[in-house]
Structure formats: structure tokens, C-alpha cells
Amino acid sequence: MKKIYDVVVIGSGVAGQTAASGLAFAGKNVAIVENDLWGGTCANRGCDPKKILFSVVEAHNKSLHLIGKGIEEAPIINWSQLIAFKNTFTDPVPEQSKKRLKASGIDVYNATAEFIDAKNIKVQDHILEAAQFVIATGARPALINIEGKEHFLTSDDFLSLPNMPDKLTFIGGGYIAFEFAAIANAAGAQVDVIHHNSRPLKAYDQELVSALMSQLEAKGVIFHLDTNITLIEKVGQQFKLTDDKGFELTTDLVFATTGRLANTEKLKLENADVTYDKKGIIVNDYLQTSNPAIYALGDVLSKKQPKLTPVSSLEASYLVSLLTNKNDCPIAYPKIPTNVFSSPKLAQVGVTVLEAENSKDKYEVSTIDASNWFNYLRVNEPVSKVNIIIDKDSGLLAGASCLNNEADQLINFFTFFINKEIKAAELADAVFAYPTIASDLTYFYT
């Protein structure tokens, strides 16, 4: 059976849902196709459930910091209760997402989409023709190609673990490894993190990364750097990890946290003359692929911008305005903050310390130890470091990075200052509630 639409969206995550709903609201005849969980990664098995688990870790760590300061002992995390709580958020997502799309007048298809040619896709027994297609199929966990890779679990599995094992291991040194290490450690597991080189979290200021590692190590997390695992063997109920230099480690579970792969291989993009590389689909400044009738957005893209939910939302909103003739300009990305929800949190935005040090004639770097400031002393926080990068010519904030348990809030303020070009003098005139994280801003940016 063949059906004809104005637009067919492939993928129902944040990018796909936002694009499909916006186009349908504008009067387009829209269909959406999903071959996995309706609602996509973020809501089902990504940032949202991760943050639910982390909320308990935050409470646990705050209690740890205040032992002997009014709290006698830290609470014990009940993992099964925590997962049950998380499930109250994630279980309804697929059906609710599907219902919202249907309520918007969008036709929904549960199937894998395959391009037949530039104007048609095959969806089970249906052929869907459209004037335009939007690809928003997202990404999935990557697995390194080593002997025994079938024993790997992924972030999807971690977020649904029914029980926390005594010992688990993460292979990879990116933000997922650091976040899950903090969660598992707080939940009582022995945690090992293995990374193939000496620079985990390589996109971040390495001084702050080292400080973060020291804090995690103090809690019991063990890091194995410059270790390249080549074999995973099942030994009884455990797994033995080895490299080619004599390293051995036995663990209850082993997780691959080595990045994510764009979901492109099932689409048969070559049939539609859509160009892609190992990082994802290639688009121009209008989110248009090599086929002018096909657009792509979100984590399936090959792009330099961070693959984050807010970025996907921005791209979807832009695309709706473009395809409804409300905008004919190329997409403009603001400065985008990134966060590592570990213990403590690590965040940065804009020009990095390394970039600033390589352009000393243009930027000035201030490194601030705020651990003795009231807002950190009152919760007995062990570390609070902030780097501020100022553009010498304009005097404006150009970048910032921070390591403390308020980093996710601080970086949002710094991002606003950068994107809105707020001057230090303007901030000095602002009055914030005291004592709060916001009331410290004028001390950072002067």
C-alpha cells in the first residue's frame, strides 16, 4: 500500500518529535516512523533516567560531606528502589509519546524505514512517498571490536540494572564512564574505569579532569589509564579482562562506554543519494543532506556541535521554521555548555583553557579556587574550582569551566553571559538573592 505525505520524519526522539509536531501544527501532512522506543534515547534510556539515578547520588554525597557537621551517617542507596522510581518516569514514555503524536494528527508507523529512492521509503508493507524527509534516527552505544565483545553491556543495560553487582568495570574514559562510575560507586559497588590513553575526558580542561579523578579515587573508584583491553573472557560468573602487556582484572560486569554510533546503516541511504561518514549524516548549514529533499538533525548528524538533547531541540525548531517558510537563513548555533554529571560535576562552555593558553595575546585566564567561599563551605564541599576566560579586546566573557557540585548551574549562567554578551559592569549592577550560587557570580566575572 502506498501513502503520500508532505513530510515523513524517521525517528521519534526529541528531534523527530519536535519536528513532526511543529510541521503538523503548521498544516503539513506528516508521518513519523520509529523502529524502537517511542520518545527516543533521552527520555527512555539516556539523560532523563540517568539524572533520576544521579539525584539520589547527589543526596548521598551531600550527606557524606556533612558527616560530623550535623549528620551522623550517610544514607545507604537502595538500588532496586531507585530503579523502580526511575521506571515510574520511563515506563510511560513510549505510549505517551505515541499518543501525543497521534493527537497532533500525525500518522505513526512502528517499523524500520528503508529508502527505496529519493522520494520513497519502505515501511513494512507500506510505501511512503513524501516531498521531504527528515532523518532523526539518533545514535546508539559503540562497542570496541575486541575478542569477547559479546560480553559487553552498554549504557542501556546500566540504566536498567535490577541489582547493583559487587564489582563492575567501565571501558572508556568519556562522560558516560565518569557519570556511571559515580553512580555505581555511591550505590556501593567497587568500580574500575579503564581507558586506552592518558587523557580521559579529553575535551575538558585536564587540570579539572585530574581533580575530578582525585575526588572519585578518594571515594574508591580505580582508574587504569594507558590500558588497552584486547580480550574479555567469561570465567564462571565473572569476566576476566586482559591486555597485551600483562594487565588482568576480574569483574562481575563489564560495560562499553566508548562513545556512540549514528544510526544510519538500516536506512539504505545510498538509494537516496544521501552522503554520510563514520560520524553520521553530512548536512549543510540548512540541515540539508546531499539530497536537497532530505534533511537530517540530532545525534545522527556528523557535526562538531555537541550531540545533546537541547541541540537537537534547537535544530528541530529551526527546521520547522525553514520548512514552513518562516526562515530562510542558515542555522546559527549559540555557545553550547557541556556537563559531566559525576561527583563532583564538571562543566565548560566557550573558549577552553587550552585554546586560551595557545592565544595568550587574545585571552586572559583566571583560575579561581572557590572552596573557601561561603556557599561551598556551608555544605563542606571538598573542591570548587572555576576557570574564567576573558576576551582582552572586548572584556567580555569568552569561556568558562568549573568543577564543583554546582557546576551545572554555574555553567548555565556563564553560557547566558557569553551568548548575550553581558559585561562585567552590567552584572555588577544586578541584585541576586543571597546567599545563592547566583550571588557569587560577580566575584567570578569582574
Q: Which amino acid is at 271?
A: N
On whether both 128 and 236 belong to a single domain, the answer is no
On whether both 170 and 242 belong to a single domain, the answer is yes
Query: Is the pLDDT assigned to residue 428 strictly greater than 90?
Result: no
295 labeled binding residue: no
* Stretch 395-401: mean pLDDT: 97
On whether both 309 and 350 belong to a single domain, the answer is no
Give me the chain's average pLDDT, please. 96
246 labeled binding residue: no
Residue 156 lies in a domain: yes
Rounded percentage of the chain residues whose pLDDT exceeds 70: 100
On whether both 130 and 232 belong to a single domain, the answer is no
175 labeled binding residue: yes
* Stretch 65-76: mean pLDDT: 91
pLDDT for 429: 87
11 labeled binding residue: no
177 labeled binding residue: yes
Confidence of residue 62 (pLDDT cuts 50, 70, 90): very high
174 labeled binding residue: yes
Query: Is the pLDDT assigned to residue 446 strictly greater than 80?
Result: no
Query: Is the pLDDT assigned to residue 383 strictly greater than 90?
Result: yes
Residue 336 lies in a domain: no
142 labeled binding residue: no
DSSP bridge pairs for 261: 140
pLDDT for 1: 81
On whether both 373 and 404 belong to a single domain, the answer is yes
On whether both 282 and 227 belong to a single domain, the answer is no
pLDDT for 183: 97
The count of structural domains within the chain is 3
Range(s) of the domain holding residue 83: 2-138+263-324
Rounded distance, CA 308 to CA 384, Å? 25
Claim: this prediction has a pTM higher than 0.85: yes
On whether both 156 and 61 belong to a single domain, the answer is no
